[in-house]
Amino acid sequence: MLRLYELMGDSGSIRNPEKFSKLEGDFFEFKAYQIRMIFYFRRDRRVVITHGCIKKRDRINREELRRAARIKEEYEAMLNEVRS
């Protein structure tokens, strides 16, 4: 996982669909075997990993996407409070 994160930072993209894929909305995932790290890109070109999970089926669990959206919302609200 760390290598995938470094590769994203160094090159700006990962072209291997077995290691990286777009989910829904603003969310993407780093993949290594059954481990998934869900993340999104901020406008300031930063990558924010919301959380990790173990994927047991072919498709990502809807609850994991809702969790990622909730974490993103909380994180962005916290950043806005700090800036104010």
Q: Domain segments of the chain: what residues?
A: 2-83
Write out pLDDT tens, residues 57-66. Answer: 777 888 999 9
Sign of the Cα pseudo-torsion (52, 23, 8, 47, in order): negative
Task: Identify the three-state secondary structure at position 36.
Answer: strand
pLDDT tens digits for range 23-64: 999 999 988 888 899 999 998 888 899 999 998 777 788 899
* CATH for 2-83, options being 3.90.1570, 3.40.50, 3.30.2310, 1.20.120: 3.30.2310
Which tokens sit at 17?
């669909």
H or E stretch at 50: strand 47-54
